[in-house]
Amino acid sequence: MDFTLDKKHEMARSLFKEFAETEVKPLAQEVDETEVFPRETVTKMQKYGFMGIPVPKEYGGQGCDPLTYVMCVEELSKVCGTTGVIVSAHTSLCVDPILTYGTEEQKQKYVRALATGEKLGAFALTEPGAGTDAQGAQTKAVLDGDEWVLNGSKCFITNGKEADVYIVIAITSVTEDKRGRKKKNFSAFIVDKGAPGFSFGTKEKKMGIRGSSTYELIFEDCRIPKENLLGPEGKGFPIAMHTLDGGRIGIAAQALGIAEGALERAIAYTKERKQFGRSIAQQQNTQFKIADMATRVEAAQLLVYKAAMAKATQKVYSVEAAKAKLFAAETAMAVTTEVVQLFGGYGYIREYDVERMMRDAKITEIYEGTSEVQRMVISGALLK
């Protein structure tokens, strides 16, 4: 077992780091303050292939592996959690399911446009009454001639109004089991922006990742072509769950990046900040905190990279993804909270990045499966 990266991954990391420092970091604070989607940065990322990293070249992608993609989200998130999640939601939640379940025509039409950066993707599962409990969903799709007709709404959708292509999960039938209990059967659909009957509702005002475009999606007799069904009819739920397994690795990478970014700032700040005639880095309290945080961050990194490697080599990687997301997200929250404490009053002021990082970290414990859901997945595999 070798824990060192090979040269091409090292070089990819240096690329992402340079891009993040040069193009993303200078805008991070403004993006947070103004809550404006960083369109210019996204355009640059599209130009340089960041939106199709793990996609095969035959579909317009970069032909790299999940580890490279994870390092991209990690490096971007070190300086801006918003930018990290834009890439993650696009790649893991929209490109990946089409690549995995799409027909050849769907891959040629959608994956190519998404991977080359012509289009941006999003994924819509959550509804006001259906978070962790997906059976609470209400959005329906009915086949009418050569078109599916969608009715309902989705909420908290990342890349909401900015995306061009949406994966939408909707109920296509309700069946009864042997005991007479009703069960909703879901299907997955590819919906283009501009489809008749598809509109946007409220823009959410959030605690963190404030530049990411989080919207409600509304479908009122929204008509999409029959061939936009993704995967077999009735298989929407397993498709959504498998998609989220991949998504969790992306969010784990985002959380890891936020934790690493906060730790880097703490190291720099505590060496400079003087109290009682010496830097606070010379106080044992600081030293022990830095040591604990660094250890925890590295453990998170190993879990995240292991999950990325599992995605590259295994068909099922739910448990690896759940462990990575659970630990990385809780690390991000713990580390950013501790770093704000080390900064003292300055940590509470918006001029310093760590306040934003603490707000950005919180969502990683919630979206794409809360920490509680990750614990259910992990224990479920052990106790079955």
Partner 1 sequence: MKIVVCIKQVPDTKGGVKFNPDGTLDRAAMLAIMNPDDKAGLEAALRIKDETGAEVTVLTMGLPKADDVLREALAMGADNAILVTDRVLGGADTWATSTTIAGALRNIDYDLIITGRQAIDGDTAQVGPQIAEHLGLPVISYAEEIKVEGDSVVVKRQYEDRYHEIKAKMPCLITALSELNVPRYMTPGGIFDAYEKEVTVWGRPDLKDVDDSNLGLKGSPTKIAKASDKVRKGAGEKVNLDPTESVSYLMDKLKEKHVI
Where does this chain bind partner 1 (CB under 8 A)? Answer: 7-8, 11-12, 15, 18-19, 48-50, 53, 57, 61-64, 68, 72
Q: Is 180 left (phi over 0), alpha (psi -120 to 50) or beta?
A: left
Which residue among 272, 298, 368, 372 is the active-site one? 368
Q: Which is nearer to partner 1, 7 or 205 (CB)?
A: 7
**Rounded to the nearest whole angstrom, what is the least distance from the CB of residue 133 to partner 1 in the complex?**
38
Q: Which is nearer to partner 1, 49 or 236 (CB)?
A: 49
Name the residue among 94, 297, 284, 124 with its Cα closest to residue 219. 124
Q: Determine whether 35 is an active site residue.
A: no
**Rounded to the nearest whole angstrom, what is the least distance from the CB of residue 16 to partner 1 in the complex?**
8
DSSP 3-state helix, strand, coil percentages of the chain (rounded to 5)?
60, 20, 25
**Rounded to the nearest whole angstrom, what is the least distance from the CB of residue 208 to partner 1 in the complex?**
27
Is residue 363 exposed (0-12), middle (13-18) or buried (19+ Cβ within 10 Å)? buried
**Rounded to the nearest whole angstrom, what is the least distance from the CB of residue 88 to partner 1 in the complex?**
15
Residue 165 three-state SS: strand
Gap between the Cα atoms of 312 and 122, Å rounded: 22
Q: Which is nearer to partner 1, 12 or 79 (CB)?
A: 12
Measured CA distances, 81 to 27, 37, 140 (Å): 12, 12, 33
Is residue 341 exposed (0-12), middle (13-18) or buried (19+ Cβ within 10 Å)? middle
Name the residue among 162, 13, 18 with its Cα closest to residue 85. 162
**Rounded to the nearest whole angstrom, what is the least distance from the CB of residue 7 to partner 1 in the complex?**
6
Q: Which is nearer to partner 1, 72 or 125 (CB)?
A: 72
Q: Is 301 left (phi over 0), alpha (psi -120 to 50) or beta?
A: alpha
Gap between the Cα atoms of 184 and 137, Å rounded: 9
Q: Which is nearer to partner 1, 7 or 315 (CB)?
A: 7
The tokens for 126 are: 């959550």
Gap between the Cα atoms of 136 and 128, Å rounded: 9
Q: Which is nearer to partner 1, 120 or 141 (CB)?
A: 120
**Rounded to the nearest whole angstrom, what is the least distance from the CB of residue 167 to partner 1 in the complex?**
23
- First-to-last alpha carbon distance for the chain, in angstroms, is 30
Residues forming the active site: 368
